[in-house]
Homo-oligomer: A and B are copies of this chain.
């Protein structure tokens, strides 16, 4: 450890150098939900000292935040009827949308209709455009008529096979990584401490403690621990995405029942000029991005513990895209002929395709984001597939909880 500069100077990359060994709240992970939580906490409870710890940079280029579709929509909220909180989620979605549109300063946020196409009505859904469904349900329209307004539908899809459509005209596109960056910057401006390139480990101790490992890269390109510091906290919030549950399990020995799935985002090189809607068929979303489309495949279920992502084969040729997604795409090629052409980039090996682990609350791809307290003083904040639409509201809910008068330090 020779030649090390003083801890305060080295560690506090952003914000004021700190010497404290004790904080009111430590947030592990500065993805969009962790960063937003930090910002909300600074606003709601500026008297609480706050430390954000992030293993990567800001935004973290290996996390799910940077690859998340950033598609706000309420079109699939009705599928969460089993959560029996439909109205509440609807409100939280609207609140999240307002925040995205205004609360994070200069940030891309563009309304973009989401059109979901169907071969036949979903079971349990009303068929007629004027159906007597609850307010959350969106009526069906004729996809052929919709194609007059959005001619790109004819270029992408076989509308004879997909005669029905539902549109979320309130849907919007944004960049979750920008949310993370802007929220963290604002939180720091409001007095939060932020450590980047620092790995956090939770400690078995009387009272919440976190061991901070400052990482550095050697001249042989190995990532090593440069310095270790232990910090006490009244509350530790783990907001590390799919890495959150293992962090709690390894550190505290508590068992969580959350899952994760490896999500890949292949590109479809067809033009998407401004005004192009997002299109969804059978759970596969085509998101306009950088003048083309990013495909967001449907997550069917969690991947088993120990699964290493693996590419598949398409008619004998290795692909970077995993087999399960390839099968879904092949099944959709009749309905979406655009997928069958040379424009779909399936890659040759796994590294050709952007991909990330997406957390699945209780292993369920339909579950909304959640926060919970698996051990005293330890909170787990999880987003998952609906984080684009509901994540900020759940982070705000946790911030409100933490800003209540805190119990004395254990």
Contacts and interface: CB of A to CB of B under 8 A. Distances in A.
B310 A306 contact: yes
A189 interface: no
A305 interface: yes
A368 interface: no
Interface stretch (A66-74, A213-221, A315-323): A315-323
Contacts of A43: none
A324 B313 CA distance: 27
Contact of A253 (B302, B304, B315): B315
Contacts of A304: 303-304, 307, 310, 322-324
A308 B305 CA distance: 10
A316 B248 CA distance: 12
Contacts of A301: 300-301
Chain A interface mostly helix, strand, loop or mixed?
A: loop
Contacts of A255: 315, 327, 330
Contact of A310 (B253, B305, B324): B305
A65 B201 CA distance: 45
A257 interface: yes
Nearest to A350: B306
Contacts of A249: 313
Given A255-B330, A330-B255, A312 B305 contact: yes
A280 to B, nearest CB: 21
Contacts of A302: 324
A303 B313 CA distance: 17
Contacts of A331: 257
Nearest to A324: B304
How often does this chain occur in the complex, in copies? 2
B330 A305 contact: no
A321 to B, nearest CB: 11
A330 B312 CA distance: 34
A331 B310 CA distance: 30
A295 B313 CA distance: 35
Nearest to A253: B316
B310 A323 contact: no
Nearest to A305: B323
Contacts of A309: 306
Given A255-B330, A330-B255, A323 B306 contact: yes
A229 to B, nearest CB: 25
A313 to B, nearest CB: 8
A318 to B, nearest CB: 12
A312 B313 CA distance: 29
Interface string A285-303: 0000000000000001111
Nearest to A257: B327
24 contacts: A253-B315, A253-B316, A255-B330, A257-B327, A257-B331, A300-B301, A301-B301, A302-B324, A303-B304, A303-B307, A304-B304, A304-B307, A304-B322, A304-B323, A304-B324, A305-B310, A305-B323, A305-B324, A306-B307, A306-B309, A306-B310, A306-B322, A306-B323, A308-B308
Given A253-B315, A255-B330, A257-B327, 8 more contacts: A255-B315, A302-B324, A304-B304, A304-B310, A304-B323, A305-B322, A306-B323, A307-B307
